[in-house]
Amino acid sequence: MGKHNTPMLDELEKGPWPSFVSDIKQQADKGKHILKEAPNDLLGIMEMSYVDKVTHWKHGGIVGVFGYGGGIIGRYCDQPQMFPGVAHFHTVRVNQPSSKYYTSDYLRKLCDLWERHGSGLTNMHGSTGDIVFLGTTTDHLEPLFYELTHDLNQDLGGSGSNLRTPECCLGMSRCQFACYDTEETCHQMTNAYQEELHRPAFPYKFKFKFDGCPNGCVASIARSDMSVIGTWRDDIRIDQAAVKAYVGGELKPNAGAHSSRDWGKFDIQAEVINRCPTECMCYGDGKLEINNAECVRCMHCLNVMPRALRIGEDRGASVLFGAKAPILEGAQMSTLTVPFMKMEAPFDELKELVEKVWDWWMEEGKNRERLGELIQRKSMQEFLRVIELDPDPRMVDEPRSNPYIFWKEEEVEGGWTRDIDAYRKKHLR
Amino acid sequence: MTEDEAKKAILENLQGKSKTKSKFYLKDFYSMVPDMKPREIKNIVNKMVQEGHLEYWSSGSTTLIGLKGMGKQHQEED
Protein backbone atom coordinates (compact mmCIF):
# COMPACT_ATOMS: atom_id res chain seq x y z
CA MET A 1 0.00 0.00 0.00
CA GLY A 2 1.17 3.53 -0.71
CA LYS A 3 1.46 6.40 1.73
CA HIS A 4 -2.31 6.96 1.79
CA ASN A 5 -5.19 4.51 1.90
CA THR A 6 -7.02 4.97 -1.45
CA PRO A 7 -9.78 2.36 -1.82
CA MET A 8 -11.87 4.42 -4.26
CA LEU A 9 -8.95 5.18 -6.55
CA ASP A 10 -7.89 1.53 -6.39
CA GLU A 11 -11.19 0.62 -8.05
CA LEU A 12 -10.00 2.52 -11.11
CA GLU A 13 -7.15 0.05 -11.56
CA LYS A 14 -9.55 -2.83 -12.16
CA GLY A 15 -10.67 -3.83 -15.65
CA PRO A 16 -8.76 -4.20 -18.90
CA TRP A 17 -7.97 -0.53 -19.48
CA PRO A 18 -4.84 1.47 -18.71
CA SER A 19 -5.24 3.34 -15.44
CA PHE A 20 -3.89 6.75 -14.51
CA VAL A 21 -3.94 5.57 -10.89
CA SER A 22 -1.48 2.75 -11.73
CA ASP A 23 0.69 5.27 -13.61
CA ILE A 24 0.85 7.60 -10.60
CA LYS A 25 1.62 4.71 -8.25
CA GLN A 26 4.38 3.56 -10.59
CA GLN A 27 5.87 7.05 -10.59
CA ALA A 28 5.63 7.16 -6.76
CA ASP A 29 7.50 3.83 -6.45
CA LYS A 30 10.07 4.01 -9.21
CA GLY A 31 10.32 7.63 -10.38
CA LYS A 32 13.49 9.65 -9.91
CA HIS A 33 11.56 12.89 -9.51
CA ILE A 34 12.90 15.55 -7.20
CA LEU A 35 9.56 16.29 -5.50
CA LYS A 36 9.50 12.90 -3.78
CA GLU A 37 6.14 13.06 -2.06
CA ALA A 38 4.16 14.61 -4.93
CA PRO A 39 2.71 11.45 -6.61
CA ASN A 40 1.71 9.82 -3.31
CA ASP A 41 0.14 12.99 -1.95
CA LEU A 42 -1.63 13.54 -5.26
CA LEU A 43 -3.31 10.15 -4.82
CA GLY A 44 -4.17 11.09 -1.24
CA ILE A 45 -5.83 14.37 -2.12
CA MET A 46 -7.73 12.83 -5.04
CA GLU A 47 -9.11 10.11 -2.74
CA MET A 48 -10.19 12.85 -0.34
CA SER A 49 -11.95 14.69 -3.20
CA TYR A 50 -13.72 11.49 -4.25
CA VAL A 51 -14.95 10.98 -0.69
CA ASP A 52 -15.93 14.63 -0.12
CA LYS A 53 -17.22 15.10 -3.69
CA VAL A 54 -15.59 18.55 -3.85
CA THR A 55 -12.26 19.71 -5.20
CA HIS A 56 -9.39 20.43 -2.82
CA TRP A 57 -7.46 22.48 -5.39
CA LYS A 58 -7.15 26.24 -5.43
CA HIS A 59 -6.51 27.41 -8.97
CA GLY A 60 -4.61 30.45 -10.13
CA GLY A 61 -1.90 32.75 -8.87
CA ILE A 62 0.86 35.21 -9.72
CA VAL A 63 3.40 32.47 -10.42
CA GLY A 64 5.09 32.47 -13.80
CA VAL A 65 8.44 32.96 -15.45
CA PHE A 66 9.86 36.42 -15.98
CA GLY A 67 8.27 38.33 -18.85
CA TYR A 68 5.73 35.62 -19.67
CA GLY A 69 2.06 36.04 -18.89
CA GLY A 70 1.15 32.48 -19.82
CA GLY A 71 2.33 28.90 -19.81
CA ILE A 72 2.36 28.44 -16.03
CA ILE A 73 -0.80 27.93 -14.01
CA GLY A 74 -0.55 28.29 -10.25
CA ARG A 75 -2.18 25.52 -8.28
CA TYR A 76 -2.33 24.95 -4.53
CA CYS A 77 -4.14 22.40 -2.37
CA ASP A 78 -6.32 23.42 0.57
CA GLN A 79 -4.97 20.66 2.85
CA PRO A 80 -1.23 21.44 2.79
CA GLN A 81 -0.52 19.92 6.22
CA MET A 82 -2.08 16.62 5.27
CA PHE A 83 -0.60 16.56 1.75
CA PRO A 84 2.63 18.62 1.80
CA GLY A 85 3.86 17.03 -1.44
CA VAL A 86 1.14 18.83 -3.39
CA ALA A 87 0.86 21.99 -1.27
CA HIS A 88 2.23 23.83 -4.35
CA PHE A 89 1.48 21.91 -7.51
CA HIS A 90 1.84 24.30 -10.47
CA THR A 91 1.11 23.23 -14.03
CA VAL A 92 3.51 23.96 -16.88
CA ARG A 93 2.28 24.01 -20.47
CA VAL A 94 4.96 23.23 -23.04
CA ASN A 95 4.35 24.09 -26.70
CA GLN A 96 4.17 20.79 -28.54
CA PRO A 97 5.99 20.38 -31.87
CA SER A 98 3.70 20.62 -34.92
CA SER A 99 1.61 17.44 -35.25
CA LYS A 100 3.22 16.21 -32.02
CA TYR A 101 6.20 14.65 -33.76
CA TYR A 102 9.23 14.11 -31.58
CA THR A 103 11.95 11.51 -31.25
CA SER A 104 12.07 9.10 -28.33
CA ASP A 105 15.37 10.75 -27.37
CA TYR A 106 13.64 14.13 -27.15
CA LEU A 107 10.81 12.64 -25.07
CA ARG A 108 13.33 11.12 -22.66
CA LYS A 109 15.04 14.50 -22.32
CA LEU A 110 11.71 16.17 -21.59
CA CYS A 111 10.87 13.54 -18.97
CA ASP A 112 14.34 13.80 -17.39
CA LEU A 113 13.99 17.58 -17.25
CA TRP A 114 10.64 17.24 -15.53
CA GLU A 115 12.00 14.73 -13.00
CA ARG A 116 14.78 17.21 -12.15
CA HIS A 117 12.31 20.03 -11.64
CA GLY A 118 8.93 18.55 -10.77
CA SER A 119 6.75 15.57 -9.94
CA GLY A 120 7.65 13.61 -13.08
CA LEU A 121 3.92 13.37 -13.87
CA THR A 122 2.84 14.50 -17.33
CA ASN A 123 -0.29 14.78 -19.42
CA MET A 124 0.43 13.85 -23.02
CA HIS A 125 -1.33 15.92 -24.35
CA GLY A 126 -3.65 18.61 -23.01
CA SER A 127 -6.82 19.27 -24.99
CA THR A 128 -5.18 22.25 -26.74
CA GLY A 129 -2.28 19.97 -27.67
CA ASP A 130 0.33 21.12 -25.16
CA ILE A 131 2.71 18.78 -23.41
CA VAL A 132 1.54 19.33 -19.83
CA PHE A 133 3.89 19.00 -16.87
CA LEU A 134 1.82 18.42 -13.74
CA GLY A 135 3.04 19.70 -10.40
CA THR A 136 6.04 21.70 -9.31
CA THR A 137 6.97 24.38 -6.82
CA THR A 138 7.68 28.04 -7.55
CA ASP A 139 11.45 27.79 -7.01
CA HIS A 140 11.77 25.26 -9.84
CA LEU A 141 9.99 27.36 -12.48
CA GLU A 142 12.83 29.61 -13.66
CA PRO A 143 15.51 26.83 -13.79
CA LEU A 144 13.03 24.59 -15.65
CA PHE A 145 12.23 27.36 -18.13
CA TYR A 146 15.93 28.10 -18.71
CA GLU A 147 16.75 24.46 -19.48
CA LEU A 148 13.64 23.97 -21.60
CA THR A 149 14.40 26.96 -23.80
CA HIS A 150 18.22 26.79 -23.87
CA ASP A 151 18.95 23.05 -23.84
CA LEU A 152 15.84 21.58 -25.46
CA ASN A 153 15.07 24.54 -27.73
CA GLN A 154 11.41 24.40 -26.76
CA ASP A 155 9.05 27.08 -25.50
CA LEU A 156 6.12 27.36 -23.13
CA GLY A 157 2.59 27.17 -24.51
CA GLY A 158 -0.27 29.59 -23.99
CA SER A 159 -2.66 30.07 -21.09
CA GLY A 160 -4.78 32.88 -19.67
CA SER A 161 -6.01 35.70 -21.91
CA ASN A 162 -3.45 34.89 -24.56
CA LEU A 163 -3.27 33.22 -27.91
CA ARG A 164 -3.26 29.54 -26.99
CA THR A 165 -0.78 27.07 -28.38
CA PRO A 166 -1.68 26.59 -32.05
CA GLU A 167 -2.38 23.00 -33.07
CA CYS A 168 -2.45 21.09 -36.36
CA CYS A 169 -3.22 17.65 -37.73
CA LEU A 170 -0.60 15.33 -39.25
CA GLY A 171 -1.22 17.04 -42.57
CA MET A 172 1.01 16.28 -45.53
CA SER A 173 3.42 14.28 -43.41
CA ARG A 174 1.07 11.29 -43.35
CA CYS A 175 -2.21 12.07 -45.01
CA GLN A 176 -3.32 12.06 -48.64
CA PHE A 177 -6.32 14.26 -47.82
CA ALA A 178 -4.24 17.23 -46.65
CA CYS A 179 -5.20 20.23 -48.79
CA TYR A 180 -2.43 22.45 -47.42
CA ASP A 181 0.67 22.13 -45.30
CA THR A 182 -0.85 22.33 -41.82
CA GLU A 183 2.47 21.86 -40.03
CA GLU A 184 4.13 24.71 -41.91
CA THR A 185 1.13 26.97 -41.31
CA CYS A 186 1.02 26.14 -37.62
CA HIS A 187 4.77 26.69 -37.25
CA GLN A 188 4.74 30.01 -39.12
CA MET A 189 1.73 31.33 -37.23
CA THR A 190 3.25 30.28 -33.89
CA ASN A 191 6.44 32.14 -34.71
CA ALA A 192 4.63 35.20 -36.06
CA TYR A 193 2.48 35.60 -32.94
CA GLN A 194 4.96 34.96 -30.12
CA GLU A 195 3.96 38.23 -28.46
CA GLU A 196 0.29 37.23 -28.37
CA LEU A 197 1.18 33.71 -27.16
CA HIS A 198 3.29 34.79 -24.23
CA ARG A 199 1.77 38.06 -23.10
CA PRO A 200 -1.88 38.73 -22.35
CA ALA A 201 -3.44 40.58 -25.26
CA PHE A 202 -7.10 39.73 -25.39
CA PRO A 203 -10.38 39.78 -23.42
CA TYR A 204 -10.11 35.99 -23.09
CA LYS A 205 -8.50 32.95 -24.71
CA PHE A 206 -8.06 32.70 -28.49
CA LYS A 207 -7.32 29.46 -30.33
CA PHE A 208 -6.07 28.66 -33.84
CA LYS A 209 -6.36 25.13 -35.12
CA PHE A 210 -5.34 23.83 -38.52
CA ASP A 211 -7.12 20.85 -40.08
CA GLY A 212 -5.76 19.69 -43.42
CA CYS A 213 -9.15 18.51 -44.65
CA PRO A 214 -12.79 18.44 -43.52
CA ASN A 215 -12.24 15.15 -41.65
CA GLY A 216 -11.05 17.56 -38.97
CA CYS A 217 -8.59 15.45 -36.97
CA VAL A 218 -7.90 18.35 -34.56
CA ALA A 219 -11.62 19.24 -34.47
CA SER A 220 -10.89 22.88 -35.27
CA ILE A 221 -14.52 23.57 -36.18
CA ALA A 222 -15.64 22.66 -32.67
CA ARG A 223 -12.85 24.05 -30.53
CA SER A 224 -11.08 27.01 -32.04
CA ASP A 225 -11.90 30.68 -32.39
CA MET A 226 -10.27 30.55 -35.83
CA SER A 227 -10.62 27.21 -37.60
CA VAL A 228 -8.63 26.70 -40.80
CA ILE A 229 -9.95 23.66 -42.67
CA GLY A 230 -8.44 22.38 -45.90
CA THR A 231 -10.66 22.22 -48.99
CA TRP A 232 -10.47 22.29 -52.78
CA ARG A 233 -12.20 24.38 -55.46
CA ASP A 234 -12.21 22.01 -58.41
CA ASP A 235 -13.54 18.47 -58.80
CA ILE A 236 -12.94 15.29 -56.84
CA ARG A 237 -10.64 13.14 -58.99
CA ILE A 238 -12.16 9.77 -59.86
CA ASP A 239 -10.24 6.65 -60.85
CA GLN A 240 -13.05 4.61 -62.46
CA ALA A 241 -10.94 1.42 -62.58
CA ALA A 242 -10.39 1.64 -58.82
CA VAL A 243 -14.13 2.27 -58.28
CA LYS A 244 -14.79 -1.00 -60.13
CA ALA A 245 -12.15 -2.73 -58.00
CA TYR A 246 -14.00 -1.62 -54.84
CA VAL A 247 -17.31 -2.82 -56.30
CA GLY A 248 -15.72 -6.13 -57.34
CA GLY A 249 -14.15 -6.67 -53.93
CA GLU A 250 -10.49 -6.47 -55.02
CA LEU A 251 -9.98 -3.33 -52.90
CA LYS A 252 -11.14 -3.21 -49.30
CA PRO A 253 -13.41 -0.26 -48.41
CA ASN A 254 -12.22 2.20 -45.74
CA ALA A 255 -8.66 1.02 -46.46
CA GLY A 256 -9.43 -2.15 -44.49
CA ALA A 257 -10.63 -0.36 -41.37
CA HIS A 258 -13.65 -1.80 -39.51
CA SER A 259 -12.82 -5.22 -41.04
CA SER A 260 -12.98 -7.14 -37.77
CA ARG A 261 -16.67 -7.86 -38.48
CA ASP A 262 -18.20 -9.41 -41.58
CA TRP A 263 -20.21 -6.60 -43.14
CA GLY A 264 -21.00 -8.62 -46.25
CA LYS A 265 -20.10 -7.71 -49.80
CA PHE A 266 -19.29 -4.04 -50.41
CA ASP A 267 -22.43 -2.30 -51.70
CA ILE A 268 -21.49 1.01 -53.32
CA GLN A 269 -25.12 2.12 -53.57
CA ALA A 270 -25.87 1.57 -49.87
CA GLU A 271 -22.50 2.49 -48.43
CA VAL A 272 -21.53 5.46 -50.58
CA ILE A 273 -24.19 6.80 -52.95
CA ASN A 274 -27.13 6.70 -50.50
CA ARG A 275 -25.02 8.20 -47.73
CA CYS A 276 -24.08 11.36 -49.64
CA PRO A 277 -25.75 14.19 -47.66
CA THR A 278 -26.47 16.25 -50.79
CA GLU A 279 -27.28 13.28 -53.05
CA CYS A 280 -24.72 14.51 -55.54
CA MET A 281 -23.45 11.08 -56.63
CA CYS A 282 -24.73 8.29 -58.82
CA TYR A 283 -23.36 4.96 -59.96
CA GLY A 284 -24.57 3.12 -63.07
CA ASP A 285 -23.13 1.06 -65.89
CA GLY A 286 -19.92 0.67 -63.94
CA LYS A 287 -19.33 4.42 -63.78
CA LEU A 288 -19.36 6.79 -60.80
CA GLU A 289 -20.43 10.37 -61.38
CA ILE A 290 -20.29 13.32 -58.97
CA ASN A 291 -22.08 16.65 -59.29
CA ASN A 292 -19.22 18.57 -57.70
CA ALA A 293 -21.13 21.84 -57.39
CA GLU A 294 -23.36 20.17 -54.80
CA CYS A 295 -20.54 18.53 -52.83
CA VAL A 296 -20.29 19.86 -49.26
CA ARG A 297 -16.94 18.12 -48.49
CA CYS A 298 -18.41 15.64 -46.02
CA MET A 299 -15.49 13.35 -46.95
CA HIS A 300 -17.51 10.12 -46.62
CA CYS A 301 -16.97 8.88 -50.19
CA LEU A 302 -13.25 9.73 -50.10
CA ASN A 303 -12.85 7.93 -46.78
CA VAL A 304 -14.65 4.79 -47.99
CA MET A 305 -12.85 4.58 -51.35
CA PRO A 306 -9.51 6.35 -50.87
CA ARG A 307 -7.87 4.59 -53.83
CA ALA A 308 -10.66 5.59 -56.19
CA LEU A 309 -11.42 9.15 -55.09
CA ARG A 310 -8.92 11.90 -54.44
CA ILE A 311 -9.21 15.52 -53.39
CA GLY A 312 -9.14 18.13 -56.14
CA GLU A 313 -5.97 19.85 -57.30
CA ASP A 314 -6.88 23.50 -56.70
CA ARG A 315 -6.38 23.38 -52.95
CA GLY A 316 -6.48 25.81 -50.05
CA ALA A 317 -8.57 26.24 -46.93
CA SER A 318 -11.85 27.56 -45.60
CA VAL A 319 -11.52 29.90 -42.62
CA LEU A 320 -14.19 29.81 -39.93
CA PHE A 321 -14.56 31.84 -36.75
CA GLY A 322 -16.20 31.57 -33.37
CA ALA A 323 -16.19 28.02 -31.97
CA LYS A 324 -16.16 27.61 -28.21
CA ALA A 325 -16.87 25.17 -25.40
CA PRO A 326 -20.09 25.41 -23.37
CA ILE A 327 -19.29 27.87 -20.57
CA LEU A 328 -21.86 30.45 -21.70
CA GLU A 329 -24.95 29.61 -23.75
CA GLY A 330 -23.79 26.16 -24.84
CA ALA A 331 -21.11 24.98 -27.21
CA GLN A 332 -20.85 26.70 -30.55
CA MET A 333 -19.34 25.54 -33.84
CA SER A 334 -17.36 28.05 -35.85
CA THR A 335 -19.07 29.88 -38.71
CA LEU A 336 -17.81 29.76 -42.28
CA THR A 337 -16.40 33.19 -43.05
CA VAL A 338 -13.90 32.80 -45.90
CA PRO A 339 -15.04 29.97 -48.20
CA PHE A 340 -11.65 29.61 -49.87
CA MET A 341 -8.19 31.01 -49.26
CA LYS A 342 -4.92 29.83 -50.79
CA MET A 343 -2.61 28.72 -47.99
CA GLU A 344 0.92 29.55 -49.00
CA ALA A 345 3.85 30.86 -46.96
CA PRO A 346 4.23 33.49 -45.58
CA PHE A 347 0.42 33.33 -45.02
CA ASP A 348 0.00 37.11 -45.24
CA GLU A 349 -3.67 36.92 -46.20
CA LEU A 350 -4.46 34.80 -43.14
CA LYS A 351 -2.43 37.06 -40.85
CA GLU A 352 -4.12 40.19 -42.20
CA LEU A 353 -7.51 38.59 -41.57
CA VAL A 354 -6.85 37.47 -38.01
CA GLU A 355 -5.33 40.84 -37.06
CA LYS A 356 -8.51 42.64 -38.18
CA VAL A 357 -10.51 40.19 -36.07
CA TRP A 358 -8.26 40.76 -33.04
CA ASP A 359 -8.44 44.55 -33.31
CA TRP A 360 -12.23 44.40 -33.27
CA TRP A 361 -12.40 41.88 -30.42
CA MET A 362 -9.88 43.85 -28.32
CA GLU A 363 -11.94 46.99 -28.83
CA GLU A 364 -15.47 45.58 -28.50
CA GLY A 365 -15.14 42.33 -26.59
CA LYS A 366 -16.26 42.27 -22.95
CA ASN A 367 -14.03 40.72 -20.31
CA ARG A 368 -14.12 36.93 -20.66
CA GLU A 369 -16.15 37.11 -23.87
CA ARG A 370 -15.06 34.67 -26.58
CA LEU A 371 -15.03 35.82 -30.19
CA GLY A 372 -18.03 33.61 -31.02
CA GLU A 373 -20.06 35.28 -28.28
CA LEU A 374 -19.07 38.73 -29.55
CA ILE A 375 -20.17 37.81 -33.07
CA GLN A 376 -23.48 36.62 -31.65
CA ARG A 377 -23.92 39.80 -29.61
CA LYS A 378 -22.91 42.30 -32.31
CA SER A 379 -24.22 40.28 -35.31
CA MET A 380 -22.56 38.46 -38.17
CA GLN A 381 -23.23 41.49 -40.34
CA GLU A 382 -21.11 43.71 -38.10
CA PHE A 383 -18.37 41.08 -38.01
CA LEU A 384 -18.27 40.95 -41.81
CA ARG A 385 -18.17 44.75 -42.02
CA VAL A 386 -15.16 44.85 -39.70
CA ILE A 387 -13.21 42.22 -41.61
CA GLU A 388 -14.25 43.83 -44.90
CA LEU A 389 -15.98 40.84 -46.45
CA ASP A 390 -19.27 40.80 -48.35
CA PRO A 391 -22.01 38.43 -47.17
CA ASP A 392 -22.08 35.20 -49.13
CA PRO A 393 -24.76 32.50 -49.23
CA ARG A 394 -22.11 29.94 -48.26
CA MET A 395 -21.90 31.62 -44.85
CA VAL A 396 -25.48 30.57 -44.13
CA ASP A 397 -25.66 27.23 -42.40
CA GLU A 398 -29.35 26.75 -43.14
CA PRO A 399 -32.06 29.34 -43.89
CA ARG A 400 -33.34 31.28 -40.88
CA SER A 401 -30.92 29.76 -38.37
CA ASN A 402 -27.93 32.02 -38.93
CA PRO A 403 -28.11 35.68 -37.93
CA TYR A 404 -29.76 37.60 -40.74
CA ILE A 405 -27.79 39.84 -43.06
CA PHE A 406 -29.77 43.04 -43.54
CA TRP A 407 -29.45 45.59 -46.30
CA LYS A 408 -28.20 49.00 -45.28
CA GLU A 409 -30.13 52.07 -46.43
CA GLU A 410 -27.31 53.27 -48.68
CA GLU A 411 -27.23 49.90 -50.43
CA VAL A 412 -30.88 50.13 -51.49
CA GLU A 413 -31.95 52.27 -54.40
CA GLY A 414 -34.10 55.09 -53.06
CA GLY A 415 -33.23 54.32 -49.44
CA TRP A 416 -36.00 53.62 -46.92
CA THR A 417 -38.28 56.49 -47.98
CA ARG A 418 -41.32 55.62 -50.04
CA ASP A 419 -44.37 57.28 -51.48
CA ILE A 420 -47.15 55.90 -49.31
CA ASP A 421 -49.86 57.13 -51.71
CA ALA A 422 -48.26 55.33 -54.65
CA TYR A 423 -47.94 52.24 -52.48
CA ARG A 424 -51.61 52.35 -51.41
CA LYS A 425 -52.73 52.56 -55.03
CA LYS A 426 -51.32 49.12 -55.58
CA HIS A 427 -51.93 47.67 -52.12
CA LEU A 428 -55.35 48.41 -50.66
CA ARG A 429 -55.88 48.19 -46.91
CA MET B 1 0.09 61.12 -25.21
CA THR B 2 3.62 59.72 -24.93
CA GLU B 3 4.47 56.27 -23.62
CA ASP B 4 5.84 57.74 -20.38
CA GLU B 5 2.69 59.79 -19.86
CA ALA B 6 0.59 56.67 -20.45
CA LYS B 7 2.61 54.70 -17.89
CA LYS B 8 2.22 57.51 -15.38
CA ALA B 9 -1.54 57.65 -15.95
CA ILE B 10 -1.81 53.89 -15.47
CA LEU B 11 0.19 53.91 -12.24
CA GLU B 12 -1.78 56.85 -10.81
CA ASN B 13 -5.04 55.18 -11.71
CA LEU B 14 -4.09 51.87 -10.13
CA GLN B 15 -2.74 53.52 -6.99
CA GLY B 16 -6.01 55.46 -6.67
CA LYS B 17 -8.01 52.23 -6.74
CA SER B 18 -5.60 50.09 -4.72
CA LYS B 19 -7.69 50.21 -1.55
CA THR B 20 -10.71 48.60 -3.20
CA LYS B 21 -9.27 46.52 -6.00
CA SER B 22 -5.86 45.00 -6.70
CA LYS B 23 -6.32 43.08 -9.96
CA PHE B 24 -7.66 44.36 -13.28
CA TYR B 25 -8.59 42.98 -16.67
CA LEU B 26 -6.55 44.27 -19.60
CA LYS B 27 -9.68 46.02 -20.88
CA ASP B 28 -9.88 48.05 -17.67
CA PHE B 29 -6.61 49.73 -18.71
CA TYR B 30 -8.13 51.09 -21.93
CA SER B 31 -10.16 53.69 -20.07
CA MET B 32 -7.07 54.83 -18.11
CA VAL B 33 -5.43 55.93 -21.37
CA PRO B 34 -8.36 56.97 -23.57
CA ASP B 35 -6.17 58.50 -26.33
CA MET B 36 -4.45 55.26 -27.22
CA LYS B 37 -5.54 52.19 -29.17
CA PRO B 38 -6.05 48.89 -27.30
CA ARG B 39 -3.04 47.27 -29.00
CA GLU B 40 -0.72 50.13 -27.93
CA ILE B 41 -2.03 49.96 -24.36
CA LYS B 42 -1.56 46.20 -24.32
CA ASN B 43 2.07 46.66 -25.34
CA ILE B 44 2.65 49.31 -22.65
CA VAL B 45 1.03 47.19 -19.93
CA ASN B 46 3.15 44.17 -20.86
CA LYS B 47 6.24 46.38 -20.87
CA MET B 48 5.36 47.65 -17.40
CA VAL B 49 5.25 44.04 -16.20
CA GLN B 50 8.74 43.44 -17.56
CA GLU B 51 9.96 46.66 -15.93
CA GLY B 52 8.62 45.42 -12.60
CA HIS B 53 5.83 47.98 -12.08
CA LEU B 54 2.96 45.56 -12.66
CA GLU B 55 2.43 41.81 -12.31
CA TYR B 56 0.19 39.19 -13.88
CA TRP B 57 -2.27 37.01 -12.02
CA SER B 58 -3.61 34.07 -13.98
CA SER B 59 -6.44 31.68 -13.18
CA GLY B 60 -5.30 29.52 -16.05
CA SER B 61 -8.13 30.66 -18.29
CA THR B 62 -8.06 34.42 -17.69
CA THR B 63 -5.29 36.85 -16.88
CA LEU B 64 -5.57 39.81 -14.56
CA ILE B 65 -2.97 42.52 -14.02
CA GLY B 66 -2.20 44.57 -10.93
CA LEU B 67 0.44 46.70 -9.22
CA LYS B 68 3.41 44.58 -8.26
CA GLY B 69 3.20 43.54 -4.64
CA MET B 70 -0.43 44.56 -4.22
CA GLY B 71 -3.17 42.13 -3.27
CA LYS B 72 -2.60 38.49 -2.52
CA GLN B 73 1.03 37.49 -2.98
CA HIS B 74 2.68 34.14 -3.51
CA GLN B 75 3.35 33.45 0.18
CA GLU B 76 -0.33 33.97 0.96
CA GLU B 77 -1.67 31.95 -1.94
CA ASP B 78 -1.05 28.56 -0.36
pLDDT digit string (tens) for A402-418? Answer: 556 777 888 888 888 88
pLDDT of residue B72: 66
pLDDT of residue A242: 98
Main-chain phi, psi angles of A22, to 5 degrees:
-60, -40
Is residue A331 situated within a structural domain?
yes
What is the CATH number for A255? Answer: 3.30.70.20
Is residue A424 situated within a structural domain?
no
- Is there a single domain that holds both residue A70 and residue A138? yes
- Is there a single domain that holds both residue A41 and residue A109? yes
Q: Which residues of B touch A365 (CB under 8 A)?
A: 27
- Is there a single domain that holds both residue A323 and residue A301? no
Identify which of A58, A64, A204 has the shortest CB distance to residue B56.
Answer: A64
Average the pLDDT over A157-161 and give the result.
94
Lowest model confidence (mean pLDDT) among A116-120, A154-158, A355-359, B71-75: B71-75
Decide: A3 and A37 in contact? Cβ < 8 Å.
Answer: yes
Share of chain A above pLDDT 90, in %: 83
- The residue segments making up the domain with residue B28 are 3-69
Paired residues of B57 in beta bridges: B64
Residue A27 CA neighbour count, 13 Å, CB half: 27
> For chain A, how many structural domains are there in total?
3
* Beta pairing class for A167-168 and A208-211: parallel
**Confidence check: pLDDT of B76 > 60:** no
Average the pLDDT over A127-148 and give the result.
96
Whose CA is closest to A214, among A127, A326, A311? A311
- Is there a single domain that holds both residue A329 and residue A299? no
Of the pLDDT bands very low, low, confident and very high (cuts 50, 70, 90), residue B75 is low
Q: Taking the alpha carbons of A78, A80, A81, A86 in that order, is the dihedral positive or negative?
A: positive
Of the pLDDT bands very low, low, confident and very high (cuts 50, 70, 90), residue A423 is confident
**Confidence check: pLDDT of B57 > 60:** yes
ipTM of the complex: 0.88
pLDDT of residue A358: 97
- The residue segments making up the domain with residue A16 are 7-150
Share of chain B above pLDDT 90, in %: 67
Suggest the residue from A134, A199, A363, A386 to mutate for an interface test with chain B (most B CBs closer than 10 A): A199
Last residue of a domain, one of A279, A310, A341: A310
Q: Which residue of B has its CA nearest to A69?
A: B56
**How far is the alpha carbon of A35 from chain B, nearest alpha carbon, in Å?**
17
pLDDT tens digits for range A361-407: 999 999 999 999 999 899 888 999 999 999 888 887 666 655 567 77
**Confidence check: pLDDT of B69 > 80:** yes
pLDDT of residue A314: 98
Is residue A179 situated within a structural domain?
yes
Decide: A33 and A117 in contact? Cβ < 8 Å.
Answer: no
Q: Taking the alpha carbons of A17, A21, A25, A30 in that order, is the dihedral positive or negative?
A: positive
Is residue A338 situated within a structural domain?
yes
C-alpha A266/C-alpha A268 separation (Å) is: 6
What is the CATH number for A328? Answer: 3.30.413.10
- Is there a single domain that holds both residue A68 and residue A215? no
C-alpha A268/C-alpha A271 separation (Å) is: 5
**Residue B12 Cα distances to A421, B17, B73, angstroms:** 63, 9, 21
Last residue of a domain, one of A104, A124, A150: A150
Whose CA is closest to A237, among A286, A275, A182, A292? A292
What is the CATH number for A108? Answer: 3.30.70.2500
pLDDT of residue A330: 83
Q: Which residue of B has its CA nearest to A84?
A: B78
Cis previous bond, A117, omega within 30:
no
pLDDT of residue A32: 93
pLDDT tens digits for range A213-264: 999 999 999 999 999 999 999 999 999 999 999 999 999 999 999 888 888 8
**How far is the alpha carbon of B35 from chain A, nearest alpha carbon, in Å?**
13
Average the pLDDT over A318-347 and give the result.
91
pLDDT of residue A417: 85
Is residue A2 situated within a structural domain?
no
What is the CATH number for B14? Answer: 1.10.10.10
> For chain B, how many structural domains are there in total?
1
Is residue A192 situated within a structural domain?
yes
E strands in A12-69: 57-59
pLDDT tens digits for range A26-80: 999 999 999 999 999 999 999 999 999 999 999 888 888 988 999 999 999 999 9
Last residue of a domain, one of A263, A278, A310: A310
Taking all residues of chain A, what is their mean pLDDT, rounded to a whole number?
Answer: 93
Decide: B51 and B24 in contact? Cβ < 8 Å.
Answer: no
Whose CA is closest to A171, among A239, A101, A225, A238? A101
- Is there a single domain that holds both residue A222 and residue A186? yes
